[in-house]
Structure 1
Amino acid sequence: MEINKKVPLLKLPGTSDLQFNLSDYKGRFLVIYFYPKDATPGCTAQGVDFRDAYKKFQALDTEIFGISRDTLKSHENFKAKFTFPFELLSDEEEKACELFGVIKMKNMYGKQVRGIERSTFVIDPDGKLIKAWRGVKVEGHIKEVLQFIKQHNS
């Protein structure tokens, strides 16, 4: 995915029986964040930060979605445990991961493993990708995303 290019139609199953379809969100900003795994420390901290800032994003007519390769059952448990007000999308077939190029070889305890590189993307109301953060560090990231949306939502 390149900046200022339209994001191809994307359909994924989500929590709360959502069938996510990118075209349903035309006219709104979307924050889509990819994370490695439900209920791990970094992913939990990231989700909690988005949860805590959710009302600020909503005030800017922005919807948030988290995506990982976990199952919907795992997502439902993760979402319920931390009361996320936004939906989590399951990408077990790695369609969205491939589209956004977030699968990377990573070192885990000295072994090379294929996994999701923590990344965040902003899609504008016309369906164009306008910002990408890759290799995200959780601390302070959500403030940066919020600030970006504020600047582009005027």
Structure 2
Amino acid sequence: MATTFGSLPADLPVPEDDGAADHLTGMSTPDIDLPATDGSTVNLARLPGRHVLYIYPMTGRPGRALPDGWNEIPGARGCTPQSCSFRDHYTELQALNTGVFGLSTQSTDYQQEARERLHLPFQLLSDEGLKLKSVLGLPTFEVDGAELYKRLTLVIDERKIVKVFYPVFPPDRSAEETVGWLHELVLRG
């Protein structure tokens, strides 16, 4: 049976909030260079203004099987729909003066294929060495011998994490939820 990365099975298990991201709000972004899909490097500690950093386990690739049991791991499935949701809300985020980056532990080469295939108007960042886990204590899980990030979304304003969405479910509504929160932030002024 072929896997359709852009759709979500109706019976996906819902991830529970295990408290693994409770400490992140208020933290400063670390001075770490991360490779981007355009060949540049991005340092979260040097980004001016407001940005959304959505962190995901891994995108699937046509012709390659997902890890065994992927759909049964709470929060694992849905990286492509999450990326597409940020693509589809990108103009709204720009109107809210908010930049966007996606981040996973996948290599830049792997991410470049996903960015092109999904027509993402923003860069994906690679953290193959789990640097952000070491510095920020980001939550991870293991599958098929690989350590991957659990799905979460950070709103960063002037190099401080001001909002954490964790767990993120359903992943295809991640951008909509983030945009809603940003609209309220702007209204509170």
The answer to whether residue 151 in structure 2 is matched with residue 151 in structure 1 is no
Offset of 1:121 from its aligned partner? 0.4
Which deviations, in whole Å up to 9, do the C-alpha atoms of 1:77-127 show, x marking residues without a partner? 000001000100010111023334334335x6xx89743110110111x21
Offset of 1:135 from its aligned partner? 2.2
Which of 71, 84, 88 lines up with 2:124 in the alignment? 88
Counterpart in the other structure of 1:62: 98
Q: Identify, as 1 or 2, the structure richer in strand.
A: 1
Structure-2 separation of matches of 1:86 and 1:96: 20
Question: How high is the TM-score relative to the length of structure 2?
Answer: 0.71
Counterpart residue identity of residue 37, structure 2: T
The answer to whether residue 59 in structure 2 is matched with residue 38 in structure 1 is yes
Change (3 A) 1:34 1:87: same
Offset of 1:23 from its aligned partner? 4.1
Superposition CA RMSD, Å: 2.1
Change (3 A) 1:73 1:113: closer
Counterpart residue identity of residue 134, structure 1: Y
Whether contact under 8 Å (1:102, 1:118) holds in the other structure is: no
Could you list the structure 1 runs, at least 4 aligned residues long, displaced by more than 4 angstroms after superposition: none
Counterpart secondary structure, 2:165: strand
Counterpart in the other structure of 2:164: 132
Counterpart in the other structure of 2:107: 71
Change (3 A) 1:50 1:118: same
Change (3 A) 1:44 1:4: same
How many residues align? The count is 149
Counterpart in the other structure of 2:65: none
Counterpart in the other structure of 1:121: 154
Which of 30, 36, 39 lines up with 1:8 in the alignment? 30
Structure-2 separation of matches of 1:5 and 1:147: 22
Question: How high is the TM-score relative to the length of structure 1?
Answer: 0.85
